[in-house]
Each structure stands twice: as C-alpha cells, then as structure tokens.
A and B are shown apart, each in its own frame.
Chain A
Amino acid sequence: MALRMWASSTANALKISCSSKPNVSLAFSLSRCFSTVLDGLKYANSHEWVKHEGPVATIGITDHAQDHLGEVVFVELPEPGGSVSQGKGFGAVESVKATSDINSPISGEVVEVNSKLSETPGLINSSPYADGWMIKVKPSSPSELESLMGPKEYTKFCEEEDASH
C-alpha cells in the first residue's frame, strides 16, 4: 500500500498519466541506488529509454543516467528530418565540465525534438521519463526494439553496474 502511494506521488512528480493507457502499469522497480525504472519502456545498455507508441517512438535518458551525469546545463539535439541509427550517437548532454554522448536505442527518422530542453535542460534531471524526453523517431526497423532490455532486465543491469564499481 505504501509503495503504491509512493508510486502514485512519484508518478505525479514525473507527470506520468496512465488514464489513457490502462495496459501500461505504473509499477516501479528500484535499483540499489533508487534510480527509477518504468514499465512499458525498453532500455539500452548505454542508459537511454524508448517508448514505442504506434508509428512513433519517444527517446530519452534514464533516471540512472541523469543521476550519474549530474546537473545538465545544455543539450545538443538533432534537427527534425535527420536520421538516427541504433547504437550511434545523436546528440550530447553537457554538465559543468563534461560533454557526454547520447546514443539512439533504435534507428529511424527524427520527427520531433523537445524544444523545451534548450531553455530548461534541467528537465532531464527532474523529469527524465516525461518532460525531459529528447526526440521522437519514426522507427525504420521496429524489430530492433526486441534487442533492447525490459524494465526488470535493465534494473538488474544497473544494479550489477553499480555493484561492480
């Protein structure tokens, strides 16, 4: 019960609504470092997430990634109309002293870019799965999604990564 209340308030904080998608549950799994991992998303081992909804997939970086990167001060994103390839860099986030590549979990055409991030790059830290989304892509090979991790697998991946360091 307590977990459901916490999950609900966190969902509000993340501005996730499930009212239109009854089949997407809001179960949260916690990694050792309390990074949030959401159901209904797929995950790359370079810590990006992808949410596939019909013809469009939304991409961002995970809570684990934003936490490890620190405060994001700038985001470099591609232009709509450009293409992305699975596993290849499509942009970068800048924290105070570092620029870090973001890699696309899938291939496709960029159809929309989150313009809010130019004024408020910190959305990536505060809302990595919702307001901090980065690009929307028309997937060119939907089967690529199958090669990505599900939430449980990704949670374990993060735990193992953090434990070994």
Chain B
Amino acid sequence: MGVLGKPAELLEIESVLDDQVPVIRRFTGGGTVIVDHGTVFVTFICNKEAVPNLQPYPRPIMSWSSSLYGKVFQGIGDFHLRENDYVFGNHKFGGNAQSITKNRWIHHTSFLWDFNVQNMSYLKHPKRAPAYRSARSHLDFICRMKDYMPRSTFMDKTVEATETQFSLRPIQLEAIRTCLEAEFCPSSRFLTNEELEAAAVALQS
C-alpha cells in the first residue's frame, strides 16, 4: 500500500486477515499492489542532478521514466504512459510510485508479470482511480507482462535502456545490506493484525 492508503478502502480486510496476507505500507505514494513470486520491481533512486534537465517533480519524473521504458517496449503491445500507469493499449501492467525529497528522488514501478485471479479479490476497487480505467473490474483493467515479453528479455532491455543514461555496475544484494547504516530505520512497515482489524471495525461503524 502507498503511504496514504486507507486499508478499509483498498483491501477486503476480512479475506486478508483470514488468509494472513502480509500488508506493507511503503513510504512512497501510489496505490495498492499484490506482490507475488513473479512481480518485477524496478526502482530508480537519483540525486536531484542525476538526470540532466529533469526537474524533480512528479510529472517530469514520470515522463522521463516512460521514455526510458519506451525504449524497452519499442514496437511491443502499444506501450505508453497512461495518466500515471504503464499500459499496453488501455490495459495496465505497471504501477508507479514516487517520493521526492530536497536533494533526491525515488521512482519505482511494480510490474505485473503474472497474476493469480484469486489474489486480485483481496483488492477493492479504489475510490480514486484513473479516468481511463472507466470503472472496469481488476481483471478487465490489467494485463500480464509475460504475455508480451520474456522475463529475461525485459530485464536485459531495461538494463540496456538504463545504460543509455547512466553507467551501470552489477552489485549483489548482500553487499548493499552491509552498506546500510546501523541507525537507519525504514519507514516502510508491516501493518499489524490489530491495525487491520481496527480499520475493518471503523468501516462498519
């Protein structure tokens, strides 16, 4: 869930609690996504000056990211940025979220590689939805990225597109963990059962 998300409005809380689905509130904006074993996350964390001529505001960053992914999906499935989502045609396959501070910004995308239809039933239809959704249900609104491109191709092409803007070097996750300062406390956190139950009760009253 995004930083603002109200669990009762976004989740079918009873099912989430019954099935013990972990709910994470992240520190960036944006909506709610189901994360499963196939989800691909791509995150850009940039200093303010990292991208020349880019103003550190939501729309320019969104536009920059879509031009990068435009290279990845060139000629495939009518890719574009539609409002704030990545779509093939008018079907969403990538959701975006950002956080912007004085000197730095983060833009991350959750790519819907595949989905289990049953899992989608944990999500409610959000109150605030993009206009192009046109009140479609989840299943009519989203599509699977795996139907458009092999996973390794997506990763290779994303690296290739990123290399047109930055110099890259691979790094292992363990190496990043050792770099983290001991005092760092992530603000992204799991919501507790108590919080979810309280949200369900508040909704009913």
Tell me what chain A mostly uses at the interface: helix, strand, loop, or mixed: mixed
B141 on the A face (CB < 8 A): no
| B49 → A minimal CB distance (Å) | 11
Choose among A98, A103, A162 the residue that contacts B28 (Cβ–Cβ < 8 A). A98
Contact A73 B4 (CB under 8 A): yes
| B69 → A minimal CB distance (Å) | 15
A: interface residue count bin: 20 to 34
A99-B29, A99-B98, A99-B100 known; A165-B4 Cβ under 8 A: no
A69-B58, A73-B128, A101-B102 known; A94-B3 Cβ under 8 A: yes
Which residue of chain A is the closest to B3 with respect to CB atoms?
A99
Q: In the assembly, what is the distance between CA of A109 and CA of B75, in Å?
A: 56
Q: In the assembly, what is the distance between CA of A108 and CA of B142, in Å?
A: 48
A157 on the B face (CB < 8 A): no
Report the interface size for chain B: residues with CB under 8 A from the other chain.
26
Which residue of chain B is the closest to A103 with respect to CB atoms?
B102
Choose among B4, B31, B60, B62 the residue that contacts A94 (Cβ–Cβ < 8 A). B4
A94: chain B residues at CB < 8 Å are 3-4, 29
Contact A164 B53 (CB under 8 A): yes
B30 on the A face (CB < 8 A): yes
Contact A68 B57 (CB under 8 A): yes
B3: chain A residues at CB < 8 Å are 94, 99
| B48 → A minimal CB distance (Å) | 10
Q: In the assembly, what is the distance between CA of A164 and CA of B55, in Å?
A: 9
A100 on the B face (CB < 8 A): yes
Contact B100 A96 (CB under 8 A): no
Interface residues in chain B, defined as those with a beta carbon under 8 Å from any beta carbon in chain A: 2-4, 27-31, 53-55, 57-62, 84, 96-102, 128
A-B contact pairs, 26 of them (CB 8 A): A68-B59, A68-B60, A69-B57, A73-B128, A89-B101, A94-B4, A94-B29, A95-B58, A96-B29, A96-B30, A96-B58, A96-B128, A97-B84, A97-B97, A98-B30, A98-B58, A98-B97, A98-B98, A99-B4, A100-B57, A100-B58, A100-B99, A100-B100, A101-B100, A161-B55, A165-B55
Interface residues in chain A, defined as those with a beta carbon under 8 Å from any beta carbon in chain B: 46, 68-70, 73-74, 87, 89, 94-101, 103, 161-162, 164-165
